Structure 1
């Protein structure tokens, strides 16, 4: 989400918006516009997706796939200017896809992630299926390692990464959610296997509250509850341990981000980590260490049995 989110949400509380498109189309053959090397934008399943293929990509050697999901009122290209993952694709060799969500009546893009966020109409696209089919399309076009498929999302995109881990654990090794949340009702998430999770939350988030809250009267869980849910889903057996603090936001004093790690006993060698940005807001101004840190977390995880 961009900083427009709070204003748009206030309007949505009064007037429910109409989604501009219906259910996604069935997956199509990969478009010739998808690049062999470098960047390009094409339509997959009736929606735009921008793909970046690093110079090191070799069709004879399986590569990781990272899919990045923008927030409500944002879009894929704006997200990349925020996360800056293209240099990480070049550094580490992953194929990178960043798709656009559907547009509502006001032209704002969104993901239908949970009942709280962010399809504010009874006509809600099946984004879980759409993104699963996008992953399948990427695997058909490129030599993707099925054990190293990852998602990262901000705000509404963070909600959507949790939804994907719930619905498509068989496809996904790990996710990073930045200032997002999952289902408030933990029973609505039934992952078929373990997924490693990095949940990053800002303690002073003014939009998706650290302590939990609601959007248009529909509740979403707190940061602590979100992490506890995934500790349970992954069947971790420990209380967790503290990791070294991180300095990810230069505008905040010191090493502002605390790290809590749950790993012992987690099924399938998965892990759950909670990074808390003390004093951080909804759209932190990242320093140069952020993108490498989240990339290294993702690429350190491999899907067991794939």
Structure 2
């Protein structure tokens, strides 16, 4: 690196003094400059100083396995800068951190709202959410430990406010979110499950020790995760979405009667009912986004299928990512 800098400096001195520089030397100089800039950028990223719109790949070792995750940190690391909220996003079954990052479009919200986002990868594209049906569950992967360790890594290495840690997940990731909120709720300020709710297995083993803000966002016509309870397509019994949010409202000691808001602004054969439980302990919240007519889709996105499986209708009545962040922000503003 020092050698490159000296060559660049010498060529600049020759040019400034009027000495003719051979064209080949100019090309070498320009190549050296570009190389130096690229190396400089790598060093900055390794030192934890990230440029806007940079996504970096990381891993930590858990249970003798390397567990990978992506970090989106659109801020430079300045001493004295305010600590930032952290949002952890958990993908669904057969997904990945990269997939949920793309599907949720969360990075653009992170830039606008000044938070850091992290996208962990599940084991064999799955999470040990407690239902006992996924590869991660069957091979006794400790995903609770993974997320707990990931959170410690983020707080130690990034400018994170530990009182503003949030988590959300879709489908299998949403069930994992419910497990984490029930088992390790003290780590999080709030959590949201999309296309998922409370499973019987988690209910039998864990109850939250402290009030925590929770929202559930799911469609009534979901062909994978039954809105009214029963058995998920890939296995495991769950309770209904309405009963799930009622449980959280009871645990949070909220007022028993929810505030109900109905929206039907889009011509897409879906509508939205929001049930908000207020006056909860510790200023927490419990909220259900009941998307009438919608299927197993990320709300606000276009229709998609999964290996030919019909996932039902999408909805444009609510943008899940925007609404999730709005819910998180309400918990501390």
TM-score tier by shorter-chain length is: 0.7 to 0.9
From 82, 87, 94, the equivalent of 1:66 is 87
Q: 1:170 to 1:125 in 2, by over 3 A?
A: same
Using the alignment, how far apart are the partners of 2:195 and 2:122 within structure 1?
18
Report which structure shows greater RCO (CA 8 Å, sep ≥6): 1
Q: 1:277 to 1:44 in 2, by over 3 A?
A: same
Residue 156 of structure 1 is matched in structure 2 by 172
From 278, 289, 300, the equivalent of 1:263 is 278
- Alignment of 1:85 with 2:101, yes or no, is no
- Normalised to the residue count of structure 2, the TM-score between the two structures is 0.73
The gaps in structure 2 that reach 5 residues or longer are 1-44, 301-315
From 67, 72, 77, the equivalent of 1:52 is 72
Cα deviations by residue, 1:16-57 (Å, 9 ceiling, x for unpaired)? xxxxxxxxxxxxxxx948663421111123211100012376
Cα root mean square deviation, aligned: 2.4
Q: 1:170 aligns to what SS in structure 2?
A: helix
CA contact (8 A) 1:166 1:189 kept: yes
Q: 1:245 to 1:34 in 2, by over 3 A?
A: farther
Q: 1:147 to 1:71 in 2, by over 3 A?
A: same
Larger helix proportion, structure 1 or 2?
2
Number of equivalent positions? 264
Using the alignment, how far apart are the partners of 1:34 and 1:294 within structure 2?
27
The gaps in structure 1 that reach 5 residues or longer are 1-30, 104-108
Residue 13 of structure 2 is matched in structure 1 by none
Residue 216 of structure 2 is matched in structure 1 by 199
- Normalised to the residue count of structure 1, the TM-score between the two structures is 0.79
Q: 1:110 aligns to what SS in structure 2?
A: coil
From 151, 173, 197, the equivalent of 1:181 is 197
Shift of 1:134: 0.5
Q: 1:194 aligns to what SS in structure 2?
A: coil
Q: 1:180 aligns to what SS in structure 2?
A: coil
Larger radius of gyration: 2
